[in-house]
Structure 1
Amino acid sequence: MSFDYDLFVIGGGSGGVRAARVAAQEGAHVALAEEDRYGGTCVIRGCVPKKLMVFASEYSGMVEDAASYGWQIEPGVFDWVAFKTKLHAELDRLENVYRGILKNNNVVTYDQRARLVDAHTVELADGQQFRAKHILLATGGRPVTPDLPGAELGITSNDIFQLDALPKSMLIVGGGYIACEFAGIMNGLGVETTQYYRGAQILRGFDEEARGLICEEMCQRGVDVHLGTNVLEMRKEGNGIRVKATNGTERVFDAVMFATGRKPNTDGLGLEEIGVELGRSGQVVVDDYSQTAVPSVYAVGDVTDRVNLTPVAIREGMAFVETVFKGNPTKPDHELIPTAIFTQPEFGTVGLSEEEARDQEPIEVYATSFKPMQQSFAGRSERVLMKLIVSKATRKVLGCHIVAPGAGEMIQLAGIAVKMGATKEDFDRTVAVHPTMSEEIVTMKTPVRSG
């Protein structure tokens, strides 16, 4: 049987591009199809523009604090158009980097939608068909909006980077990390920000103490958070949107953003027709080696709905190439993944929450909460949290949770220790770096509680 390509990748995001490049470097003849922009969610409408917006939003607080440090700086006005112009120029540059990576590694690219016809055939939107020995699905996910009257008046995280002007007031619906990050961003940029979340506390699934502190601090900084609250209906009113909520209130906002979940991009790809199994939310079901029910078809990244993080998609893409093109069967490792949430305050976490660990085995909890020096000197009452969850039996650190400025940077390094299986005594043996916030991670001597 003759093939046009050894590998055909559908999706030009982080996972797909990495797999295409590394397979091509191994000598495979590779093609990739992408219907939208190269770089995918992370580069074009996710982590990268989001983090740049976080940086932009933090300057308002820095300018306020500067006076406490003797600087005579007058608070200015944020110029959204100037920032947005520069932001989009940066995204264009990064997209060209991704295109360049593929071109320089002789990956053939098709800028159009692709679907599967059979186990080895890919059909492009223009009708061209290609046969490939292996097919990799890396189509990612997309935000979903709830089914309620007037929902079409709202925007999603995809649209927030395209706003012509910043609204004066905004409602953000949702309690996950995307909702909470954008609540902090908009608040920092001077938008009157309200957040509705139907659950009892934001950031479901994370450590409860950390979630509680983040919510408290968000409120202190001016985000109007309403828990146990959802939207019933929305309708246009003048230039605004009238929102009727489950808590009995009706308010008009200039803009409403839904951050109420994401869905794998599997519609219209012809997957079920050829025998690829899909899960309840439309995700591609794969085995430990990212292989689908059709042996020639594999899937990586958010479309599999395993751990929806960019570095994980890249790892899965690398493991796929090891397995299929290097004859070295490799399972992507989904254990003890450190992650950061760029809320304000920032949250870094690795391993088990206190609640998960307590359900698993007897534990000790070491925690400290304090006012960081820089903000305290400026007269702010913000608090940070450092927390270790330790196994009583093995003394291993099962979880590390940090709520503090720069928590993302700290958790990357703490993550190495936790992944290596460090014990509480290993942490204790490490000399503190003073004066820093992170030194508290190695100076906590007595547990605050056991469970």
Structure 2
Amino acid sequence: MTDLSTDLPPDPDRITRREDRVRVVIIGGGPGGYEAALTAARLGAEVSLIEERGLGGAAVLTDVVPSKTLIATAEVLDVVARSGALGIRDADSAAAPTSGALTVDLAAVNARVRRLAQAQSDDIRAALERAGVRVITGRGRLAGPNTVEVVDPDGSVGGRLTADVGLIAVGARPRELPTARPDGRRILTWTQVYDLTELPEHLIVVGSGVTGAEFASAYRALGSEVTLVSSRDQVLPGSDPDAARALEESFAERGVRVHARTRAEAARVEGDEVLVTLADGTVLRGSHLLMAVGGVPSTRGLGLEEAHVRVKPSGHIETDRVSRTNVRGLYAAGDCTGVYPLASVAAMQGRTAMYHALGEAVAPLIPNQVASAVFTSPEIATVGHSEQEVSDGHIAAEVLTLPLATNPRAKMQGVREGFVKLIVRPDSHTVLGGVVVAPRASDLIHPISLAVSQRLTAEAVARAFTVYPSVSGSTAEVARQVVGQV
């Protein structure tokens, strides 16, 4: 950070590498922070990374890695529940197997979750150390021009670092409602569910975004009764309507109850129950409550105001397309910027920041090339422009859809739900976007993501070989719908 109190000029020169190495200081060890550290180290910088809670940040320790590990267990039970259609029978009763016939040891599941999260964190530390990054335990805080303080747990300043380039990647924390304060036992945030040792008898999930939908899907597969409270007309607000409808149908089939178009006003614990009062006056009773109402950036106490860093009303740090803040030499990445709450985007922002700061060729983040997934059952993955943009007249495109029920591999696996959708420009047939609703949609979206980023045509996608039979064959098949069109 060459100057933490001066706004960037209109077109500032990048910092050039000197004979004495450029000093990079990174606050936060999540995906944005550790990817930036590895990139800067490879480019020859002297890198220090300050992390308070553990390397990998929330993504590794309390969010992405833990939740997807829990979901992996739930997927096994979901497969068992569908296996009767494949001719599998119980060896003793000859009845079709059900997930309810199995017992979930939640204490063992969550112990595995924590073990894998820690192993991933350890792997990140090892990679940073091999790259020569100096890892410092503590809380980083801006302290003036060129200076970052390391604050110890007792609030004292344990040291100061001088920097040429700085990056803030402090992530976000769960949003809490004042009328439903988490207690870590009955009222929980998504960071606290891994302390449970027994499966909730009835889990009420407030919030129907990605986090709420994923946990509702997972805990229902694990065997909990689940009620989902959604303030919107559909689950996954803002997502592809057909995908949201497929998930709602899946929820109905699996027994997840959805209360739509109403908000949770308050919650209280009475004995072994949680009582949740909704805006329409309904009172829900459950054994546990999961609050999944979004996150807030962890930017308080960083010295941003003193350093004159511009911050949005939401608390997010303002950045441009190469992750610069308004302060020369200072960058930001990840959930604290409010760009996209995705680990992949945080990592890209961190790498982009270091490429730009250290004078390397850099490609700004292009929002329409960001692929994302919702790890429900079925999974939902999207990339690029949406059908809603087509309907609203923002882009001219044709929407092509193919149900997964026509796919031979899906039939073999007993998969009846899902589809592949492509958004294609009508004249050139360039692929502008796509949606996949299917098991492993997070893997199946990649060829569409590649087509979007490389501006491939539907004909190019259609002519590429796919394995027969494969679920990915539906991507080529839906693309063939435009072949021969003028």
| Partner amino acid, structure 2, of 1:159 | Q
Unmatched 5+ residue regions in structure 2?
A: 3-19, 91-96
Alignment RMSD = 2.4
Contact 1:350-1:401 at 8 Å conserved across structures: yes
* Counterpart in the other structure of 2:457: 423
State the TM-score, normalized to the length of structure 2.
0.86
1:45-86: CA deviation from partner (whole Å, max 9, x where unpaired) = 122111111110022232233344344446321111122222
Change (3 A) 1:273 1:426: same
Q: Which runs of 5+ in 1 are unaligned?
A: none
Quick one: which amino acid aligns to residue 89 of structure 1? R
Q: Offset at 1:330?
A: 4.6
Give the share of equivalent positions with the same residue, in percent: 30
Counterpart CA distance in 1 for 2:412 and 2:475 is 22
The answer to whether the Cα contact below 8 Å between 2:404 and 2:474 also exists between their aligned partners in 1 is no
Residue 122 (structure 1) aligned with residue 148 (structure 2): yes
Which secondary structure state, in structure 2, belongs to the residue aligned with residue 166 of structure 1?
Answer: coil
**Residue aligning to 2:289:** 256
Structure 2 CA distance for partners of 1:315 and 1:378, relative to 1, 3 Å? closer
Q: Does 1:27 align with 2:44?
A: yes
User: Number of aligned pairs?
Assistant: 445
| 8 A contact 1:151–1:233 mirrored in 2 | no
1:307 aligns with 2:340: yes
Pair 1:137-2:173 in alignment: no
How far has the Cα of 1:89 moved from its partner? 1.7
Counterpart CA distance in 2 for 1:331 and 1:319 is 7
- In structure 2, what is the Cα distance between the partners aligned to 1:150 and 1:135? 35
Aligned mate of 2:102, from 73, 76, 88: 76
- 1:89-168 matches, within 5 Å, as 89-125=115-151, 126-127=156-157, 128-148=159-179, 154-168=187-201
Q: Deviations over 1:9-67 (max 9, x none)?
A: 10011111111122123332221111101111221112211111111002223223334
Equivalent positions of 1:374-413 (< 5 A) are: 382-413=416-447
Q: 1:388 to 1:116 in 2, by over 3 A?
A: same
The alpha carbon displacement at 1:309 in A equals 1.4
SS in 2 for 1:232: strand
CA contact (8 A) 1:279 1:285 kept: yes
Kept in 1, the 8 Å contact 2:334–2:347? The answer is yes
CA deviations 1:105-155 (Å, max 9, x no partner) are: 222222111211113111122312222122110111111023435566621
Q: Which of 308, 312, 316 is residue 283 of structure 1 equivalent to?
A: 316
For the residue of structure 1 that corresponds to 2:246, the secondary structure is helix
Q: Secondary structure at the match of 1:200?
A: coil
Instruction: Give the residue type in structure 2 aligned to 1:104.
Output: R
Q: Which moved more, 1:247-256 or 1:135-144?
A: 247-256
Contact 1:357–1:398 (CA<8 Å) still a contact in 2? no
- Report the counterpart of residue 56 of structure 1 in structure 2: 73
Give me the whole-angstrom Cα distance separating, in 2, the residues matched to 1:321 and 1:306: 18
Q: Deviations over 1:291-324 (max 9, x none)?
A: 2121021111111111221122112222222112
Cα deviations by residue, 1:180-204 (Å, 9 ceiling, x for unpaired): 1111111011010110010111112
Return the offset for 1:259. Answer: 0.9
Aligned 8 A contact 2:368 2:383 in 1: no
Q: Residue 401 of structure 2 corresponds to which residue in structure 1? A: 367
Q: TM-score, normalised by structure 1?
A: 0.92
Residues in 2 aligned to 1:306 and 1:365: alpha-carbon distance in whole angstroms: 27
How far off its partner does 1:377 sit? 6.5
Match of 2:242 in 1: 209
* Aligned counterpart for 2:56 among listed residues 39, 50, 53: 39
Indicate if the aligned counterparts of 1:292 and 1:298 stay in contact, CA closer than 8 A: yes
Shift of 1:249: 1.8
Greater alpha carbon shift after TM alignment, 102-111 vs 320-329: 320-329
Q: Deviation string for 1:155-195 (max 9, x for gaps)? A: 11111122232211101111111111111111011010110
Partner of 2:277: 244
**Deviation sequence 1:349-373 (CA, Å, 0-9, x none):** 1111111133223332211224366
- Residue 443 (str. 1) matches residue 469 (str. 2): no
Cα distance in structure 1, aligned partners of 2:309 and 2:193: 34
SS at match of 2:469: coil
Q: CA deviation at 1:340?
A: 1.5
Aligned partners of 1:76, 1:330: CA distance in 2, in Å? 50
- Closer, same or farther: CA 349–117 of 1 in aligned 2, 3 Å: same
